[in-house]
Every structure is written in C-alpha cells, then in structure tokens.
Amino acid sequence: MKQHSDLIRFLSDIKVTSDGTVPMSNLEHSDIFVSELYEPEYSVSVLAIMTLSYINNGEFEEVSTPVHPETITGKVLSSDLSTYAPEVYLLTRLIVLETFSLVFSIHERRDNLRYVSKRDIARVKNNINYLTDYLGTEDKYLNMIEPLRNIHVSLGYIEHQIDVIISSGRGR
C-alpha cells in the first residue's frame, strides 16, 4: 500500500512497549497542560502496535508527495508543536497512528480489526478531547481543532459500527 513518506516518518519512530504503553521518560513533565475535563492516555492499541510494526518493517511503499496541508498531519508538520509542546506533539502522533491503523485495517487488513475494542476507540476520542482542549488555549494551533473534530466524529461512526465492519469483511 502506498503512503506519504511524511506520514511514515511522522509515525515510524514512536516508541511503544509490548503492552502498548508509550514511555514518557525523555519528555519534560513540568509544563504538561492540565485539562479540567480530560486526562491524556499515552498508550496505544494492539492494532496500532501491529501497524507500527508494518511501518517499521517497510511494508508501505512511500510516495514523495507531501501530505495534504489541511490534514492534522499536514498542520502539525508545518507547525512548531514538536518543540513548543513535545508531549502534546507525541499525543497527536498517537492519535494519528491509531486512526491510520483503523483506516488501514478497514481497507487492507480487515482480519486485524478483531484486535480493536470499543475501549481503544474511547481512549483515542478522549485523547482528541484533551488535545483540542489544549489547542484551544493557543491561538497559533486553533486551525488544528477542526480536523481533530472530524476524526472524532468518524471514530464515533466506527465505534458504533465496528461489529458490522468486521462481519462484512468475513465474506470476502
């Protein structure tokens, strides 16, 4: 499957333990944004771990066209988020990894969807809520909220249709 090289680079060096936890030891914790409503979860699903291994094993053919500038990946890559708020940047990458994993599995590896739980999707939606809460406090990042809200809505559809999506792939 062909993918933008920018997207592959954006995701490929995410460090994840075998249980899906993302180590935070190299990030400074003193200035992490505290939301009154949401607590970020720095972990990923089994599906995301599998997809990350596909990425790191070179199973995607990279194309050199840039990602669309209106996607969350495009907006993040053209911002200073990675240096201004590294922990938020990491959380954004985890959200992109999870959503990419879902879309890739729906289209290419439907059998892998058995590793998705509604709890996994709820975690990603919670992380999006936390992220948009943070982004709303920084004028320079306000343009990132809309694509994240669109992802949130799409995840809601997937969350409530995952059983149908999985069973529709069994007849192929």
Angle ∠(66,107,14) on CA atoms, nearest 5: 55
Q: How many C-beta atoms lie closer than 10 Å to residue 45's C-beta?
A: 22
The reported pLDDT for the residue numbered 168 is 74
Backbone phi, then psi, for 4, in 5-degree steps?
-60, 135
Residue 2: its H or E element: strand 2-4
Cα(122)–Cα(124) distance, integer angstroms: 5
The reported pLDDT for the residue numbered 171 is 43
The reported pLDDT for the residue numbered 95 is 98
Nearest to 87 by CA among 31, 162, 20: 31
Domain-by-domain residue ranges, the chain? 2-19+42-168
The reported pLDDT for the residue numbered 165 is 81
**Per residue of the chain (172 residues), what is the pLDDT tens digit?**
899 999 999 999 999 999 999 998 666 555 788 999 999 999 999 999 999 999 999 999 999 999 999 999 999 999 999 999 999 999 999 999 999 999 999 999 999 999 999 899 999 999 999 999 999 999 999 999 999 999 999 999 999 888 888 777 654 4
Cα(65)–Cα(9) distance, integer angstroms: 13
Residue 12: its H or E element: helix 5-12
* N-terminal to C-terminal alpha carbon distance within the chain: 19
The reported pLDDT for the residue numbered 170 is 52
The reported pLDDT for the residue numbered 56 is 95
Tokens of 13: 């060096």
Q: Whole-structure pTM over 0.85, yes or no?
A: yes
